[in-house]
Amino acid sequence: MTTWLLVLCAGVLAIQWLIEFGDLRRLHARPWTYMANAVRLGGCITMLGVAVLVPDPLSVRVAASAAAVALFLIPLRLVVRAGGVESVREIYGWYVAAARLKDKGNAPLPADDELELRQIRSRLRAVRDPRLTEWIDLMVANVDDWIRVTYWPLGLGLRLIRLHELDVELLGTDAPRAELSSDEATFRWRLFRVFARMRDCGGATRTAETEDYFRSLSRQLDGFRRPDTESFIDAVQGSARSWLSEGSPGSGPWGQLEGISALGPAADAAYWSIWPYLQVMWGAELDEEDRALLANSLATHPDNAGAA
């Protein structure tokens, strides 16, 4: 009878542990908090075992029973307060650490760096807070790119801008500051967007329809002409005209996909003066089409596609 009573109590505590484990995950508790709660419930079952299985003296059984009840009645919020939760700033710190690994510039990544990136990715993905879902999805998508060392320029720009918007919302004054005015950042983003779409279109299967779209994108560049962008735009449009005139539907992709330097030294210098780093687009205004494209790219990310 006593053995069955102990088994029943252990089952109740196991169910309690599972419920509280889910609560701790939603709070993205620190590892110490999980350990403290496990010790609390483990101590509870130990004290119950003493109370049930030790026949004498009675005072030991009473004390053990009291200790088991006391441990069980400790509110989870006190355990969380003692062990702590991962703050938004700490989560952001993981992402910054991942970015530093990426910025070493090694391709392919050394095995140790790749392993560390994968560990950071796992920690980010383990966060279960509905308020942070989009923020986490954006960071995970970026880390995935860094692990694979492959990039979709348009998606990279969209994620970078939206991630900074969320950084400002969540981190307040601790968020990195945009360097340029919103108008200038938006100008550079929209020029980047046209060029990125040209790269996407020029790399797609070549048909009469994609050629027409490619021409329209090339013409859109004229709306961004300024003294600091003119040499870049001239080089891109010149390359586009050559590709369109020399090829035919069904032929290979736009040749300049190999890299910006292939457009020539003047265009290369102009590109890096416009975008010395992509963070100059922080603070840009995303339009409805941008946000829809970004939402779709996150929804179709391998982590989220199965749940969609």
Length of the chain: 308
Distance CA 5, CA 156 (A): 58
Distance CA 122, CA 198 (A): 34
Beta bridge partners of 191: none
CB neighbours of 96 closer than 8 A, spacing ≥ 6? Answer: none
**Both tokens assigned to 304:** 């989220």
Q: Where are the domains of the chain?
A: 2-83, 88-173, 182-281
CA dihedral 41, 43, 46, 47 (to 10 degrees): -110
Torsion angles phi and psi, residue 29, rounded to 5 = -70, 155
Q: How far is CA 30 from CA 119, 123, 147, 255, in A?
A: 15, 11, 25, 50
108 backbone φψ class: left, alpha, beta (φ>0; ψ -120 to 50): beta
pTM: 0.71
**pLDDT interval class at 306 (50, 70, 90):** very low
What is the C-alpha radius of gyration for the chain, rounded to an integer number of angstroms?
28
Q: How far is CA 212 from CA 4, 81, 300, in A?
A: 77, 61, 28
% of the chain residues with pLDDT over 90 = 37
Look at residue 307 in the predicted model and tell me its pLDDT.
Answer: 44
**Both tokens assigned to 51:** 């109370």
- Pick the closest to residue 289 from 201, 210, 189 (CA basis): 189
Q: What is the pLDDT of residues 268-298, one digit of tens each?
A: 888 899 999 999 999 999 999 999 999 998 8
**Range in 45-54, 115-124, 204-213 the model is least confident about:** 45-54
**Both tokens assigned to 128:** 């279960």
* Residue 26 confidence (pLDDT) above 90: no
- Do 154 and 200 touch, CB atoms closer than 8 A? yes
Q: What is the pLDDT of residues 97-132, one digit of tens each?
A: 999 988 876 667 888 999 999 999 998 988 877 788
Q: Give burial (CB, 10 Å; 0-12/13-18/19+) of 121.
A: buried
Q: What is the pLDDT of residues 141-180, one digit of tens each?
A: 999 999 988 788 899 999 999 999 999 998 888 899 999 9
Look at residue 27 in the predicted model and tell me its pLDDT.
Answer: 62
Q: pLDDT higher for 61 or 125?
A: 125
Look at residue 308 in the predicted model and tell me its pLDDT.
Answer: 39
Distance CA 43, CA 71 (A): 7
Q: Give burial (CB, 10 Å; 0-12/13-18/19+) of 47.
A: buried
Give the ranges where the chain is alpha helix by DSSP (H). Answer: 2-26, 31-53, 58-73, 76-83, 88-102, 111-126, 133-148, 153-171, 182-203, 208-220, 230-246, 265-274, 288-299, 302-305
